Structure 1
């Protein structure tokens, strides 16, 4: 079973940089498991900024949905991020929250059955602005339920607030 360190918080709260430092402290050659699908030029820029923050010691694996298919035994993995991973699942399942949650939970369980350390980055969408449309509300619900699912099995949970990690579990 994987050691799970769950780092959550609002947008631009410092989650990724905190997770990156933690991974670098745990391993000389951490793995960055990138779940992003690049939708537009702004997002491409964000991805490039994250890439430039990592040194050459990092190995990057890009995986939009099937995070469990990679052999990560004995490794330290930074999964960035659950929100983008869920977006891919939600989009693939035509915004069906129940089907997306079931698929995500099953894939998460397969993923964490391995023997490795995973530092997971996610967003607390429910702490921000109330979504203005039905699809956004459905996604916020999906995100909240999946965050609860991950946090329940996590060995450690950190909430990032204005760049400061707050220990939750």
Structure 2
């Protein structure tokens, strides 16, 4: 079973850089598990910025949904991020909240059924502006429920606030 460190917080709170530093402190050859789909040029620039933050020590795997198909046993893996991973399920399920949540939970359970040190980055969407439309509200619910699901299983949970990691579960 995976040893899970869950790092959550708002946009630009320092989650990814904290997670990267943690992974580098635990392994000389960490794995970066990227879950993003590139939807537009602005997002492509964000991905390139994240890529430039990592040096040659990192192995990068790109996986939009099927995390469990990668054999990562006995590695330190940084998954960045749950939000982008859930977006792929939500989109592919035609914005059906229950179906996306069920598929994501099933895949997550298969993924963590391996001996891996897993550092997981996510977003706290519910701490921001209340979404103005139904699809955005459904996604915020999906994110919140999946965050709760992962945090319950995590060994350690951090909340990032203005670049400061606050340990809220150990």
Which residue does 1:142 correspond to in 2? 142
Which residue does 2:80 correspond to in 1? 80
Looking at structure 1, the residues matched to 88 and 147 of structure 2 have their Cα atoms a distance apart, in angstroms, of: 16
3-state SS, counterpart of residue 122 of structure 2: strand
Q: How does 1:1-169 map to 2 (within 5 A)?
A: 1-169=1-169
Root-mean-square deviation (Å): 0.3
TM-score by length of 1: 1.00
Residue ranges of structure 2 left out of the alignment (5+ in a row): none
TM-score by length of 2: 0.99
Looking at structure 2, the residues matched to 143 and 168 of structure 1 have their Cα atoms a distance apart, in angstroms, of: 19
Looking at structure 2, the residues matched to 13 and 86 of structure 1 have their Cα atoms a distance apart, in angstroms, of: 20
Looking at structure 2, the residues matched to 11 and 38 of structure 1 have their Cα atoms a distance apart, in angstroms, of: 18
Residues paired across the two proteins, number: 169
3-state SS, counterpart of residue 44 of structure 1: helix
3-state SS, counterpart of residue 32 of structure 2: strand
3-state SS, counterpart of residue 50 of structure 1: helix
Question: Any runs of at least 4 consecutive aligned residues in structure 1 with deviations exceeding 6 A, and if so which?
Answer: none
Q: Deviations over 1:80-115 (max 9, x none)?
A: 000000000000000000000000001000000100
